[in-house]
Structure 1
């Protein structure tokens, strides 16, 4: 049975959330403006053969605005959806107890003992670059996709075409799921390759997928395959591959000596190496974050600072860390803002050119960090969203207005994993 209720502002939210009991905190986030004037319309050949459409599937209704929501999974596997437009909350069902969750803005890929269990939030945006279309359908639970060991999930920026990559470390199984089939409620494997066990990944790009290869149990290179699992013969070294993200330009994979950028033009796949600046001794980037779909991405360089990778310019910038940091994300706006989460719980607004602090909040999530949590920090074009698992509070922060807290919400027992959906 599906239940619904509404979320209100900070003073009345507590009395309306008695049914939401879970272990973590919700991280609230809004999608970037669909008609971003700074964005370049994407090359549809990067997104697969069906990308020329509008993301329409059967039984989906087009909406006038993005159907934004938060789809959450608690420590026991209970799935809940908060509609950010009307503030209703619905119980969607249950998956196994999750250990990790990845999202593409529509689906949640939850790692459980059964493998990867997939939640379709039923809300998504189809980005045409200069305009967007918005859709809503009934949410549903899919899966599981079976596999052994920790899994890495890699997605694209489109949730109803192309592929979704899953790599299981213990078995070495490299799987490419058919994302269009997911949109129709079906779990279809385009291929499943049996490789040697290692901490690898499968990265979809257009009508291709990149699969890591290992030597002596460690990643040594990345090889390209067609979406049907046929090798293309294209392979590039990538020692200690870690971290991947889809940008408006192409797909990024982090390597020990820099990054690989995969692009598709006129259905031709190209792999470009973007090395770190000569002479750098900073730690490598191992996890990339940004405002969804933008060309620039950010990663912590351990304690050495913040790496910014501009996939349009094919260049790295190392910003000094103004304080010990636990998280960072690139806004990639006209003012080149970078958002960072300090180890003392402050959110910092940094200058993307020199790393200087432009604005900061009070220590909003200090207790969470002290307890070993890394609160979610997500940016859209005008707002930042920060979760406090221990504080049981959500913050909406206007980072262009002196890091002003625009809204704060108290929660009663927050979900462990949260994804913004409908974007």
Structure 2
């Protein structure tokens, strides 16, 4: 999830293998983000055999709608206030509005159980608003029915940790709300608490671990000019001026490791991470043409140069190591993570200057919105970036994401 769509957080927990039915195998099973509690089920939801993939869209006036990618059906969900940005974890959409953050539940989700998945569907709905002032930075977890979601309001400096179990039950519940100095910060959920940025004079100097009650625990974690956070298969990543912090929780204890940039590098730092949900490798822009890849399993960075100006990069982290990029001309480019070779490029597909334009990547396809034409392109990135389908959405996809992931 990230700005426009979601970035997030993961806690590495022990696999609970009992009590599960058969389900599709995961493509990476070395860690399990799930607690095993009900395997993602909630009252009134239907467990199904395959992921319930939808496109959930929000137009410029706040009208929310969904398109079923399997059946082709579409429906209007409701209306939020006029959004300025939207983030997502693959189920919920977090729309930044003048009132704070308004939350949409798509009703479609996947529970990652490490070596297999559980898939669910229920009725989409509007959940309510997290009140706040100024631009909101949202950080999500790997599971929509457990764990937490972090929201930081730059205008007030308030750090809010939302209860995902409450969201799954149709309520907006805050685990904590901590006041701080106004700045561009973040709340990165980890374990039962979160890492929260600390600022002095508006500049971020580090991170503090807060428990589920909002109390600060331990010493400040060095992370100058912290920016960008995401879920990976390994742990919680927060970008710092000199690299990244990787945080996990084991037996209730927070563990923090540093992943420094390669010695001697002069490449611009990573500011925002994007990748396929719950994968170990993520991507970030580096200046105008560069791409940083962070492998959290190997705790290493690699740098690619696309040779063209880019707007967004996303690591698919599939078997072939595809890295996708949206350039400033509206073309989608596909690169090999191993050597940076360009494997494919499309014709210009969208106005890359539009604020809500986003490239969303799943295991097999990528999706790119074209708000002016009220369509979303479905791209087979492993097949020469072929346009598999051009999907008409029920409302203009000024903001969108793929839900059911």
Judge same fold: TM > 0.5, yes or no: yes
Q: Which residue of 1 aligns with 2:268?
A: 283
Aligned residues of 2:33 and 2:112 also touching (Cα < 8 A): no
2:106 is matched with which residue: 80, 97, 121? 121
Alignment check: 8 A CA contact 1:247 1:295 kept: yes
Pick the aligned partner of 1:405 from 384, 387, 392.
387
Structure of higher RCO (CA pairs closer than 8 Å, 6+ residues apart): 1
What CA distance in whole angstroms lies between the structure 1 residues aligned with 2:328 and 2:97? Answer: 30
Q: Does 1:381 align with 2:371?
A: no
The structure number with the bigger radius of gyration is: 1
The answer for the alignment partner of 1:82 in structure 2 is 67
1:336 corresponds to: 321
SS for the counterpart of 2:61 is coil
What is the CA deviation profile of residues 148-191 of structure 1, one whole-angstrom value per residue up to 9, with x for unaligned ones? Answer: 11111111010001111111111111111111011111121111
Cα offset, 1:408, TM superposition:
2.2
Aligned residues: 385
- The separation in 2 between residues aligned to 1:61 and 1:113, in whole angstroms, is 35
2:107/2:125 contact within 8 Å kept: yes
Q: Deviations over 1:324-347 (max 9, x none)?
A: 211111011111111112223322
| Aligned mates of 1:304, 1:259 — CA distance in 2 | 21
Secondary structure of the equivalent of 1:254?
Answer: strand
3-state SS, counterpart of residue 53 of structure 1: helix
How far off its partner does 1:304 sit?
4.8
CA distance in 2, matches of 1:395, 1:98: 22
Does the residue aligned with 2:273 lie in a helix, a strand or coil? coil
Secondary structure of residue in 2 paired with 1:181 = helix
Compared CA separation, residues 310 and 333, structure 1 to 2 (3 A)? same
Cα pair 2:323 2:336 within 8 Å, conserved: yes
1:100 deviates by 0.9
**Native 8 Å contact 1:327 1:374 kept in 2:** no
Q: Does the 8 A contact of 1:42 with 1:249 survive in 2? A: no
2:155 is paired with a residue of what secondary structure?
coil
Unmatched runs of 5 consecutive residues or more in structure 2: 6-22
Confirm or deny that 1:159 pairs with 2:144: yes
Structure 2 residue aligned with 1:40: 30
Give the Å deviation of 1:257.
0.9
Q: Scaled by the length of structure 2, what TM-score is found?
A: 0.90
Cα distance change on mapping 1:109 and 1:372 into 2, 3 Å: closer
Root-mean-square deviation (Å):
2.0
Partner of 2:10: none
1:322/1:356 contact within 8 Å kept: no
Give the C-alpha shift of residue 352 in structure 1: 0.6
Conservation of the 8 A alpha-carbon contact between 1:326 and 1:374: no
Unaligned runs of 5+ in 1: 1-25, 28-32, 45-49
Does the 8 Å CA contact 1:107/1:118 hold for their aligned counterparts?
yes
Partner deviation per Cα, 1:360-415 (whole Å, 9 max, x = no partner): 222223xx12x545732122222222222345443222222222222223568622
Is it true that 1:352 corresponds to 2:368 in the alignment? no
